Amino acid sequence: MNVAVMAFPLYILLMLLELAYERHSGRHTYRLADASTSINTAVLRVLLEGPLRLLLILPYAWLYAHARLFDWEASSPWLWLGGFVAVDFCFYWAHRSLHRYNLLWGAHQPHHSSEDFNLSTALRKGAVQTAFDWPFYLPLALLGVPLPLFLLLLGLQLAYQFWIHTQHIGRLGWLERVLVTPSLHRVHHGQNACYIDKNHGGVFILWDRLFGTYAEEREPVRYGVTTPVNTFDPIRLQFSWWRLLWLDARATRCWWDKLRLWWMPTGWRPQDVRERPWPAMGAEKFAQPCPASLRAYAFVQFLAINALALGFLASVQRAAPWEPWLLVLAILAGCVSLGLLFEGKRALWRWEGLRLLVLAGLALAWGLWLAPGQWWLGLILAGCCLVSLLWLGWLATRPRLALLS
């Protein structure tokens, strides 16, 4: 049971409430391009979560079955309470390590890549992070925490972290001596020199106090990373840091540096390539002009992509093996389109038109031949694609929009 995924309707409700409060208070922390990128990044994480989670589940189950040191009563409150604290302790060290080494930081950097900070930022995850942090949780199997309970506690621990991604809750007094709060987590997302690599805890701030990574919020936080991703494409931003490492690995003349670069502390670069410029944070947030008519189209397509993601979750266990993969390809293509749209790329028109035509054809083929019992659904999907295509064609005739870069 993935608690974090099951809680998604609650996440949507809380984001809507935060938006409503912003409109009432006049303080705005959301941008459509950034928030939709964050949510679509969560969609990518969901698509990959199943196979990547096996990297954790299989060795965990083996260690629990063959090497556990303790046996606990399943109903013991000490198992539940101690297990939750232990999960958060393991999370702290996994999280801290993800910040510390070049290769691992590449898997986690997407979560920090947003220059905004709101509840949608909590959903901006590294899509392949599970492939790197799973070893840190294996000691819990040795301690005798059953796998189903561990997955439940891990889901609850991750779900807690959603609400701390907000700028609308101030300091919370004595609670900050024990728990991670929005103020303390804002520090963690800051690129200010005094905030970098601070407050790694998920639920309990005690670990940061004990191990020297604690910092309070004392100056305005500037969000994002010091090497900005400069993209609204949720796929490209997943590889932003690794791309920089790859360029350094190719450029350096020392073969030893080509290899060790990936395992060195985050930000380390070979001596002979340190003069090569990396992206630098500008005075303003990354953004591209996006007229209201194009934003409306983007919002509708964003909703459609997430509807496809819900279809993927609903069909993954009962559909024919090829159907979920077809949905995955459709979702990925939509994510690329939104990235082109929000970045003002002229390639949008050709790519988006091709995407809609192919999607309409696949929907018709699926409804009429591959799943004739649901022909009506195929027709509806194809009709939506054709309406979107007409809308896109109308937008392309607008003089202001036809001049995308």
Quote the percentage of the chain above a pLDDT of 90.
63
Residue whose entry in the numeric block shows the structure tokens 């010091």: 226
Q: For the segment 201-216, what is each residue's pLDDT rounded down to a tens digit? A: 999 999 999 999 999 9
In whole angstroms, give the CA distance from residue 204 to residue 199: 10
pLDDT at 390: 93
Distance CA 120, CA 216 (A): 23
d(CA 295, CA 290): 6
| Cβ atoms of residues 114 and 223 within 8 Å | yes
Residue of higher predicted confidence among 1 and 224? 224
pLDDT at 54: 92
Res. 370: pLDDT tops 70: no
User: Rounded to whole angstroms, how far apart are CA atoms 309 and 281?
Assistant: 33
Secondary structure in 3-state letters for 272-298: HHCCCCCCCCCCCCCCCCCCHHHHHHH
Q: Give the per-residue pLDDT at 21.
A: 93
The whole-model pTM stands at: 0.90
Residue 320 has pLDDT above 70, yes or no: no
- Would you list the DSSP string of 47-86? HHHHHHHHHHHHHHHHHHHHH-S----TT-HHHHHHHHHH
pLDDT of residue 8: 80
User: How does residue 5 score in pLDDT terms, banded at 50, 70 and 90?
Assistant: low
pLDDT 10s digits, 63-100: 999 999 999 988 889 999 999 999 999 999 999 999 99
What pLDDT sits at residue 344?
A: 83
Quickly state the pLDDT bin for 61 (edges 50, 70, 90): very high
Q: Over 90: is that where the pLDDT of 122 sits?
A: yes
Q: pLDDT-derived band of residue 321, with 50, 70 and 90 as boundaries?
A: low
Q: Are 183 and 217 in contact (CB under 8 A)?
A: yes
Does residue 232 or residue 397 have the better pLDDT? 232
Structure-block tokens of residue 123? 């959903």
- Residue 240's nearest CA partner among 339, 130, 96 is 339
Tell me the pLDDT band of 126, cut-offs 50, 70 and 90. Answer: very high
Decide if pLDDT at 185 tops 80.
yes
The torsion region of residue 335 among left (phi > 0), alpha (psi -120 to 50) and beta comes to alpha
CA 21, CA 360: separation in Å to the nearest integer?
39
Mean pLDDT for 317-337 is 77
CA 43 to CA 319: how far, in whole Å?
Answer: 19
**pLDDT at res. 119:** 96
Encode pLDDT of 244-300 as tens digits.
999 999 999 999 999 999 999 999 999 999 888 887 766 678 887 777 888 899 999
Q: How does the average pLDDT of the chain come out, rounded?
A: 89
- Helices and strands: H and E segment counts in the chain: 17, 0
Which of 308, 319, 65, 279 is closest to 191 using CA atoms?
279
Q: Which own/partner contact pairs does 166-173 have at CB distance under 8 Å and 24+ positions apart? A: 166/18, 166/117, 166/118, 166/119, 167/27, 167/29, 167/117, 167/118, 168/18, 168/21, 168/22, 168/25, 168/27, 168/29, 171/217
Which of the 8 DSSP states describes residue 227? S
**Dihedrals phi, psi of 319, to nearest 5 degrees:** -85, 170
Residue 12 pLDDT greater than 80, yes or no: yes
Average pLDDT over residues 95-123: 96
> What is the percent of the chain where pLDDT is above 70?
91
> Any idea what DSSP says for residue 220?
-
pLDDT category of residue 180 using cuts at 50, 70 and 90: very high
Sequence ranges of the domains in the chain: 3-211, 292-402
Lowest mean pLDDT among 17-31, 69-83, 166-180, 317-331: 317-331
Q: What is the pLDDT of residue 47?
A: 84
